[in-house]
Amino acid sequence: MHDDFVANLRLLCSYYPSIAEVCRRLEINRAQFNRYLKGRYRPRHAAMRRLCAFFGVEEHELYLPHDDFCTLVQAGRVPTASSQASGVGWPDDLLYRGREGMARYLGCYFEYYHSMSRPGHLIRTLVCLEERESGIVYQRTERMQTPANPRPCHNRYEGVAVRLADRIFLVDHETLNGHEVTQTILFPSFQSQVTRLTGLKLGVADNSERMPCCVRVLYERLGEQVSLRQALSQCGLLSLDDPTLDAELLAAVRNDVAPGEQHFRARH
């Protein structure tokens, strides 16, 4: 249990430029903090409250098994140094107006669209929206696995969501290399319960070509009983005949254009 605390604390610190930077922001003695990182001492009550407030975690989460804690971080349920600044640069009045009516959309979704870099496949990613003081933020997590590299890798995108004039706008950036910004526009749901949302997604292919692409996208709401670890394990590239894909979903993300259409339009 204590080893998990050390591993989890080290993971949180890894999102900052240095341990010295963490200690400076926490206003905590570096030597004392090193004792926490080495597992020699456990923070007392006051110090623990400061740690939890700084990293945006609950005390019990710091003692989760390390693999479970990593899942929380990957899925965006624990804010990191970069995610805490997701709203920087957005006008405060826009973020304030854009959060109205967004409460019913908070939670986790599977996102489906035709892969921009692997034609002939759909990609399923995990998107988690939550409300913070600055507005509605989200993290989108890709889980990629190929025959050449069977060990899955995760790409993380962090962004801001606003609802304006009956459309939901999501803009995010890739956090590892900082080489991509994507925008998604969704139709809101007028049903009593939010189950699926459709719209368009604009981004670039994740390969050397980096071709700008626009695709139809579908968000599928996940039930609260689905764990983040279970959800992430289901993410990745999918063949079009995958039995988990129903006909309605496939039709919603099909990227066809009707005769005579001059624009690539979302499918409601």
- Give the closest residue to 135 by CA, choosing from 180, 86, 175, 178: 86
The average confidence (pLDDT) of the chain is: 86
**pLDDT, position 1:** 45
- Give the closest residue to 109 by CA, choosing from 130, 92, 90: 130
Q: Which residue has the higher pLDDT, 127 or 49?
A: 127
Distance CA 39, CA 64 (A): 15
Whether pLDDT at 89 is above 50: yes
- Give the closest residue to 135 by CA, choosing from 170, 109, 165, 108: 170
In the block, which residue shows the tokens 């304030």? 96
Cβ neighbours of residue 38 closer than 8 Å, sequence gap 6 or more: 6
pLDDT tens for residues 199-238?
999 999 877 788 899 999 999 999 888 888 889 889 999 9
Whether pLDDT at 116 is above 80: yes
Please provide residue 235's backbone torsions phi and psi, each rounded to the nearest 5 degrees: -85, 155
Please state the separation of Cα 231 from the chain's center in Å. 12
Q: Which residue has the higher pLDDT, 58 or 136?
A: 136
**pLDDT, position 165:** 92
Distance CA 220, CA 227 (A): 15
Q: Which residues pair with residue 186 across a beta bridge? A: 168, 199
CATH number of 84-253: 2.40.128.120
Q: What is the DSSP letter of 187?
A: -
Q: What is the DSSP letter of 222?
A: P
Please provide residue 169's backbone torsions phi and psi, each rounded to the nearest 5 degrees: -105, 130
**pLDDT, position 243:** 93
Highest-scoring range by mean pLDDT, 43-52, 57-66, 224-233, 240-249: 240-249
Correct CATH for 2-64 of 1.10.260.40, 3.40.50.720, 1.20.900.10, 3.30.70.640:
1.10.260.40
The pair of three-digit structure tokens given for residue 194, joined into one six-digit string: 């939010």
Q: Pick the range with the lowest mean pLDDT from 51-55, 64-68, 110-114, 196-200.
A: 51-55
CB 73, CB 158: distance < 8 Å: no
Q: Which residue has the higher pLDDT, 261 or 266?
A: 266
Q: Where do the domains of the chain lie?
A: 2-64, 84-253
Q: Which residues pair with residue 173 across a beta bridge? A: 158, 181
- pLDDT more than 70, % of the chain: 90
Strand pairing of 181-186 and 167-174? antiparallel
**pLDDT, position 150:** 61
Taking residues 84-107, report their average pLDDT.
Answer: 78
3-state class (DSSP) for residue 56: coil
**pLDDT, position 163:** 94
Long-range contacts of 175-179 (CB under 8 A, 24+ apart): 175/82, 175/83
Whether pLDDT at 115 is above 50: yes
Taking residues 111-115, report their average pLDDT.
Answer: 96
**pLDDT, position 138:** 92
Cβ neighbours of residue 174 closer than 8 Å, sequence gap 6 or more: 155, 156, 157, 180, 181
Taking residues 157-180, report their average pLDDT.
Answer: 89
